[in-house]
């Protein structure tokens, strides 16, 4: 009886000391401006999606290469969640235009 009480006490103590807390990185929100890959914390040769967090405002996203050619131009509607980007290269620059709040997330491969 004494052993079972001790084992139960140990199990009870361990169950309260083990915390399983899920942590998620807070997504950074970017507004109108000029950005580089380093500013946006993007990795090269990875496909991303861009989301517009504003419910009533359209936005524009320009992706420009080092030769000043537009690689991709996206008109992002309000509250949109799935706007795929081309695979990003290290020399790309980004222009966000409009009163929007954009987040960049890595696209899930399916």
Largest CA distance in the chain: 79
DSSP state of 65: -
Gyration radius of the chain's alpha carbons: 23
- How much of the chain, in percent, has pLDDT values that exceed 90? 43
| Residue of 103, 67, 110, 58 lying closest to 85 (CA atoms) | 103
Separation CA 35–CA 29 (nearest Å): 12
The pLDDT, as a whole number, for residue 13 is 72
Contact indicator for 50, 96 with CB cutoff of 8 Å: no
Average pLDDT over residues 53-65: 92
CATH class of 23-106: mainly beta
pTM of the entire structure? 0.72
Q: Are strands 70-76 and 59-64 parallel, antiparallel or unpaired?
A: antiparallel
Q: Which residues of 7-29 are buried (b: 16+ CB within 10 A; e: fewer)?
A: eeeeeeeeeeeeeeeeeeeeeee
pLDDT of 62 over the 90 cut: yes
**Burial (CB count within 10 angstroms: exposed 0-12, middle 13-18, buried 19+), residue 44:** exposed
At 20-55, the pLDDT tens digits run: 655 555 678 899 999 998 998 888 888 899 999 889
């Amino acid at each position: 009886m004494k052993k079972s009480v001790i084992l139960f006490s140990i199990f009870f103590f361990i169950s309260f000391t083990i915390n399983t807390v899920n942590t998620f990185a807070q997504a950074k929100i970017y507004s109108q401006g000029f950005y580089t890959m380093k500013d946006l914390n993007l990795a090269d040769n990875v496909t991303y999606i861009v989301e517009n967090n504003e419910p009533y405002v359209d936005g524009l996203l320009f992706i420009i290469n080092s030769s000043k050619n537009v690689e991709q131009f996206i008109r992002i509607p309000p509250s949109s969640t799935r706007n795929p980007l081309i695979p990003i290269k290290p020399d790309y620059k980004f222009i966000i235009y409009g009163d929007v709040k954009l987040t960049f997330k890595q696209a899930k491969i399916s």
